[in-house]
Structure 1
Amino acid sequence: MRIIILGAGVVGTTTAYFLAKDGHNVTVIERQNSPGKETSFANGGFISKLTAKPWAHPSVPKSLLRNLFREDAPYLFRFRPDVAQWIWAARFLSHCNQKSYNQGRHMSLRLADYSFTYLKKISLLEGLEYDNQSQGIIELYKTQESLDQAASFSQKLPNSEDHPKVLNMNQTIKVEPALKGQIDSYAGTLLYQGEETGDAYKFTTSLANRVNNLGVKFSFGDTVKNINIDNGCVSGVTTYKTTLQADAVVVSLGSYSTELLRQIGIKVPIFPLKGYSITLPIDDKDSAPTHGIHEIPRRIVLSKLGDRIRCAGTAELTGFDNTIRLKRTDPILADTIRLFGNIGDPKNVQRWAGLRPMTPDCLPIIGQSRIKGLFLNTGHGSTGWTWACGSGRIIADIVNGKEAEIDISPLKPDRF
């Protein structure tokens, strides 16, 4: 089968891998000059098998109001005359209740666990290196109350062996000496063993090389203008360079999926939620963490990626604006130095901003659309790195006419 995949981020590239392994003739179209240059490029690095959570949490509305005009707030809503932004925000807030959050977290964890299995299979089979660390993820809590609440909620994980260890700060520092300067700053931590961190960009580019060897064609520096429909079925795509024929098309364009699909009458409520990261070369190895660190009060995540430390966070609703604002990245850099002292020279910092393709319920859109031959694998929000391999396997199975190996009914395109 001739299949065109739109987008060469971590989701599109893993989809290409599985479809090529299944024997299909695959072409990937990407507007950037190489794979992984959009949301996959400099994200937080967490592969959250056990800690993947929807952003639509009951606490978000109060947090938004409390920090409405603070430039360094974890959640920032920029007032713009954009009807689509206001509609999306209203739908997102409607999911900020305990019932929706619990349902979303259940599906999120199911997909994350499934995806982690395939990440390990691909990495082993293809010999991929992506600066991964598997010691686990530590969540830092400021107050005993918030720690107790999180510990209680974590007991709902289906497998008891997945339940985190609850540690006071003395115990935490024995596990993670890099946090020795924080003994009086936090009430305690949750340690999720078996979690992983890694460089999504390195993984994507390495996998793209393997995919290339499988015969997949990449068309870089090209943008899709139209998805072509003939008698209710997909017939191919038209780009700014050419027209290509296909038996199936998979849309993995992240935030840019919405407008392209709207042209053919398919509405998907995906809106960009801007995030920032800083990357710092590590000068003092003793100051570098061996675990992923999630600082809960500030909503930032930190990962050691080889000889670099990556700190990422914030959610900014501001449309398709990739501008790197120092008022947003400076606090992230300051948090990194606060936590790990002289880990690196701030003069060498690399700043980045990316657009997370977020749905109102914070779950991806995966499956066959109402148009024959058109498949969606998009809207992965802040968890694309975690969910990518599972999502790619699921789409490949659906294209092949098989049932997905896990229940994906909460992810189907027609749920909205």
Structure 2
Amino acid sequence: MRPVTVVLAPDKFKGSLDAPGVADALAEGIADLAPGWQVRRAPVADGGEGTVDAVLAAGWKPVRVHAGGPVGDPLTATYARRGPVAVVELAAVAGLAVLPGGVRRPLDAGTTGLGTVVAHALDAGAEEIVIGLGGSASTDGGAGLLTGLGARVLDASGHDLPPGGAALTRCERLDLTGLHPRARRVRFVFACDVDNPLLGPHGAAAVYGPQKGADPDQVRLLETAMGRWAHVLRESTGRDVAGVPGAGAAGGTMCAAAAVLDTTRRSGVSTVLALTAFHQVVAGADLVVTGEGNLDHQSLRGKAPVGVAEAARAAGAVVFAVAGHTTLDESELRAAGFAETFTLTSLAKDHATAMTEAPALLRQVGRTIAASPPPGRAQ
């Protein structure tokens, strides 16, 4: 009888473990009771935090770059490289997670560091740059991305504006003469499931500004700034991209990119699964275990576990889900493709314990999975 083959393809458990850590803990638990099982680790992400970790786990080369963080503080960001393709994660250099002290600064946080990292990849010869857009700390319309690539954003006196969205209320001109010479010759793929426009009640400021710390007055200021920025982009490039689906993603980062660069928007998890050759990893597997920290109705709208479940079932594997917590009922979980679901909150005395003791609880889940009858392949 051949050994059971299991693929461990979780997303991160935010606040507890990154995706590789989740996979490792599950693998340890399985090995305790079923050392003969063949275990393949394939951590995933949905285009936000953890995207670079996922591709690095699949064997891509890490590249480290010194850059400025969302409010200019120095940091070291890592992107991934394989052949002519580079994978860059916005969250690693311009995200909420790297704000100094976790203090949110919605008016002056920007994406200049992202431009620095992209410029490094261009200098290294990348022909395609994939950018994961989740986790942004800023609402600067992608102005920082362009300045990091050598463009200038100027006021009426011809002076460079400071970073951040608020300053764009004074924007008069975009000077692209210093733009990186290769920026317009490569393809940019934005891994993003958000289809919000730049402006209006569903736009970058109104929907996502409060998540970045903006109060109602600041949201209105940022909306005005984004309107001004959209006008300047249109005047400077001839492209009116404010209403393009996804233009409001990551504080409008994709808006500036769509106006100036050769850009494509793709589903986050689909992009990650393609970059990690998940179809090869899952081939012949009996069981795939996926999950994330909070499995809820938002997860059903294209998040990593559901994307993994679809790909795994297409390959004929049974799919289990593991989550810190779920608000979905059994029928919803089954409809999403999960044959079984395990939660850490069902094993811990409270939610806080489920987070702090996640590694031990995940090992326990791994042992439970290994102790069950070996799963047959899905029909």
| Fold-level similarity (TM above 0.5) | no
Which fold has the larger relative contact order, with Cα–Cα distance below 8 Å and residues 6 or more apart in sequence? 1
TM-score by length of structure 2 reads 0.24
Higher strand residue share: 1
TM-score by length of structure 1 reads 0.22
